[in-house]
Amino acid sequence: MNRIAQAFASKQNLLNTYFTAGYPSLHDTIPLAKALVEAGADILEIGMPFSDPLADGPVIQGSSTVALANGMNLPVLFEQLKELRTAVPTTPVLLMGYLNPVMQFGIENFLKRAAEVGVDGLILPDLPLDEYEEQYHALFQQYGLKAVFLITPQTSEERIRRLDALSDAFLYLVSGPGTTGGTTLPDAEAQQQYFERIAGMNLKNPRLIGFGIADKAGFDRACQYANGAIIGSALIRALDGADDAPAAAARFVRGIRQA
Output 192 or 239, whichever has higher pLDDT: 239
pLDDT for the residue 52: 79
Global pTM value: 0.94
Domain 14-257: CATH class, spelled out: alpha beta
Mean pLDDT of the chain: 94
- Report the pLDDT value the prediction gives residue 98, as an integer from 0 to 100: 94
Query: What residues act catalytically?
Result: 45, 56
Give me the pLDDT at residue 259, please: 62
Which strands make up the sheet holding 121-123, listed edge to edge?
Answer: 146-147, 121-123, 93-96, 43-47, 14-20, 228-231, 207-210, 171-174, 149-151
Task: Tell me the pLDDT tens digit for each residue of 162-203.
Answer: 999 999 999 999 987 654 444 444 578 888 999 999 999 999
State the pLDDT at residue 206.
98
Instruction: Provide the residue ranges of all domains of the chain, joining segments of one domain with +.
Output: 14-257
Q: What are residue 228's DSSP bridge partners? A: 14
- Tell how far CA 28 is from the center of its chain: 17
What pairing do the DSSP bridges indicate for beta strands 43-47 and 14-20? parallel
Q: What distance in Å separates the CA atoms of residue 73 and residue 101, rounded to the nearest whole number?
A: 9
Note the pLDDT of residue 136: 97
pLDDT classification of 258: cutoffs 50, 70, 90: confident
Task: State the average pLDDT over residues 225-253.
Answer: 97
**The pLDDT value given to residue 238:** 97
Mean pLDDT over residues 87-115, rounded? 97
> Tens of pLDDT along 208-226?
999 989 999 999 999 999 9
Average pLDDT (228-244) is 96
Task: For residue 10, give every residue at least 6 positions away whose Cβ sits within 8 Å of its Cβ, in sequence order, or none.
Answer: none
pLDDT digits (tens, 9 = 90+) for 30-48: 999 999 999 999 999 999 9
pLDDT of residue 177: 61
Specify whether the backbone of 241 is left (phi greater than 0), alpha (psi in -120 to 50) or beta: left
Q: What are phi and psi of 247, to 5 degrees?
A: -65, -40
Residue 112 has pLDDT above 80, yes or no: yes
Give the C-alpha separation, 96 to 110, whole Å. Answer: 13
Residues of the chain with pLDDT > 90: what percent?
A: 88
Inter-residue contact 110 to 122 (CB < 8 Å): no
Q: For residue 90, what is the DSSP state?
A: S
Got the DSSP string for 119-173? --EEE-TTS-HHHIIIIIHHHHHHTT-EE-EEE-TT--HHHHHHHHHH-SS-EEE
Share of the chain above pLDDT 70, in %: 94
pLDDT in tens, 127-152: 999 999 999 999 999 999 999 999 99
The full length of the chain comes to 259
Whether 237 shows a pLDDT value over 90: the answer reads yes
Whether residue 103 is predicted with pLDDT greater than 80 in this model: the reply is yes
More confident residue, 120 or 51: 120
